[in-house]
């Protein structure tokens, strides 16, 4: 058992939170919070052996949507090479990278990325993983070699992971098989359910709160209705699906089924109920009010990926409508053009400001939530546990002892009173990464004294030169 004391901590309940001062945290031998008490004088805590931190603490977020391999492509698709550049032309170029990566390279990429995510304030990542097979489309000797590379990378840098093996079985509603350049992704519902069973041993090896195995359906266009039903009936852990990211995808769904994506899924699953974590909709960009209402009614959740959606020109969803409908919402960094949740929250609000020509669109003063940053951060915090398949998350007794210490000596935060810290962290940029990051009761990042980065970074840089040569 160990104790630590911080000058302040953002305590949260449901989707609300507030600063408490002089907070003592007790961590049990399993790396979980066993007590959190405010109003404990610094000296009293020190005398009883607590580690003292004069910096304010906040809970990290779950990064609810990641394709780790795409980190090797960040910055490589920012030139237009033809008359038109959109999501689909980006995807073709991204596939060329997907076709080149081997398990040892994936591990190097993931280690570098996961380290960046820790520094950016995420301590758990949901890996929407579809790069299953060898370059020629046949299985590796260990069919889960790519999955294992991700799990091991996470374990080595100390971030929690929910691996989501993906069902990917056709190229479109009207294309019953995959394209040749999608051959590495092929996996049906049985493959995914077998992966859940066969990878379960890693939970015992690395800890059941550090490694979780959920499931994913690539999209309505890439998974058959039979597979969707099978996964919803039989998969354990959270189930994630890309939905309504692109207008062309919505149009294809309408053409094929006569319904919009969320309508179609709600109809198809009307007599079925997923496990307690429910469904996680990734993007949901082109959703109408009726679909948002349906998602809320069915207790499904939204994973929004602001910087990737902006980078890919996906479009803007009505974030206020999702929040007002009380659909649980989390953040994902998806293609990893950004690895810091503060930038994701900032862009989420700025998109709404630019289209509506108003300010603080996502604040809710009528509900006594005047801070935009606090409302968005609380929302993401409260959706984090179920997106990852954990029973609790954040500063709650029983949750994994994860923490971020804020560096108040950062120029962006100089002179900012505690009650405005979240506002300044999100809306005053650039703001340096967090001072220290704790996972499961251990400091995995201590910016001032850490040398780990150097090795991970140089290994990544040399892998990148090989991959792109």
Q: How far is the CB of 311 from Zn ion (least distance, A)?
A: 12
* Maximum separation of any 2 CA atoms in the chain, in Å: 69
Select from 215, 355, 194 the least CA-distant residue to 280: 215
Q: How far is the CB of 337 from Zn ion (least distance, A)?
A: 12
Residue 21 neighbours by CB distance under 10 Å = 13
Which residue, 314 or 334, is less far from Zn ion as judged by CB? 334
Nearest residue (beta carbon) to Zn ion: 334
Contacts of 50 (CB under 8 A, 6+ apart): 3, 4, 5, 24
Per-position b or e across 74-92, b if 16+ CB within 10 A of its CB? beebeeeeeeeeebeebee
How far from each other are the two terminal CA atoms of the chain, in whole angstroms? 50
d(CA 408, CA 428): 13
Q: How far is the CB of 107 from Zn ion (least distance, A)?
A: 20
Which residue, 216 or 406, is less far from Zn ion as judged by CB? 216
Which residue, 334 or 402, is less far from Zn ion as judged by CB? 334
Q: How far is the CB of 244 from Zn ion (least distance, A)?
A: 13
Which residue, 252 or 416, is less far from Zn ion as judged by CB? 252
Which residue, 249 or 407, is less far from Zn ion as judged by CB? 249
What are the tokens at 350? 């700025």
Q: Which sign, positive or negative, has the C-alpha torsion 97, 102, 103, 108?
A: negative
DSSP conformation letters of 195-212: HHHHTTHHHHHH-TTTEE
Three-state DSSP at 244 gives coil
Select from 214, 91, 219, 194 the least CA-distant residue to 139: 194
Q: Which residues are catalytic?
A: 283, 334
Q: Which residues bind Zn ion (CB under 5 A)?
A: 334
Q: How far is the CB of 216 from Zn ion (least distance, A)?
A: 9
């Amino acid at each position: 058992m160990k104790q630590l004391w911080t000058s302040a901590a953002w305590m949260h309940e449901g989707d609300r939170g507030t600063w408490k001062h002089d907070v003592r945290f007790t961590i049990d031998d399993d790396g979980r919070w066993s007590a959190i008490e405010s109003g404990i004088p610094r000296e009293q805590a020190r005398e009883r052996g607590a580690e003292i931190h004069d910096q304010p603490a906040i809970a990290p977020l779950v990064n609810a949507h990641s394709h780790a391999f795409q980190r090797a492509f960040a910055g490589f698709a920012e030139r237009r090479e033809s008359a038109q550049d959109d999501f689909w032309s980006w995807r073709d170029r991204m596939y060329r990278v997907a076709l080149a990566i081997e398990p040892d390279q994936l591990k190097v990429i993931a280690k570098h990325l996961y380290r960046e995510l820790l520094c950016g304030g995420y301590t758990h990542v949901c890996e929407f993983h579809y790069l299953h097979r060898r370059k020629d489309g046949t299985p590796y000797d260990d069919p889960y070699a790519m999955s294992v590379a991700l799990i091991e990378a996470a374990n080595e840098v100390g971030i929690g992971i929910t691996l989501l093996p993906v069902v990917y079985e056709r190229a479109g509603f009207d294309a019953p098989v995959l394209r040749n350049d999608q051959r590495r992704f092929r996996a049906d519902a049985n493959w995914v359910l077998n992966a859940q069973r066969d990878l379960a041993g890693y939970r015992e090896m690395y800890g059941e709160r550090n490694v979780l195995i959920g499931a994913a359906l690539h999209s309505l266009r890439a998974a058959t209705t039979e597979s969707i039903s099978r996964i919803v009936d039989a998969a354990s852990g959270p189930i994630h699906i890309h939905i309504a990211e692109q207008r062309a995808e919505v149009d294809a769904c309408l053409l094929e089924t006569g319904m919009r994506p969320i309508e179609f899924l709600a109809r198809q699953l009307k007599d079925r109920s997923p496990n307690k974590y429910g469904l996680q909709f990734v993007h949901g960009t082109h959703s109408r009010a009726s679909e948002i209402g349906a998602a809320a009614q069915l207790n499904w959740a939204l994973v929004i990926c602001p910087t990737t959606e902006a980078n890919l020109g996906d479009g803007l969803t009505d974030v206020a409508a999702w929040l007002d409908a009380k659909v649980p919402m989390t953040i994902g960094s998806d293609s990893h053009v950004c690895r810091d949740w503060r930038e994701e929250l900032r862009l989420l609000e700025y998109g709404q400001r630019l289209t509506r020509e108003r300010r603080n669109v996502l604040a809710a003063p009528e509900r006594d939530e005047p801070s935009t940053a606090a409302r968005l951060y609380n929302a993401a915090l409260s959706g984090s546990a179920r997106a990852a398949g954990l029973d609790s998350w954040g500063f709650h007794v029983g949750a994994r002892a994860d923490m971020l210490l804020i560096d108040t000596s950062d120029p962006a935060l100089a002179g900012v009173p505690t009650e405005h810290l979240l506002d300044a962290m999100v809306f005053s940029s650039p703001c340096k990464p967090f001072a220290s990051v704790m996972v499961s009761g251990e400091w995995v990042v201590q910016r001032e004294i850490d040398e780990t980065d150097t090795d991970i970074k140089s290994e990544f840089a040399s892998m990148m030169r090989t991959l792109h040569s």
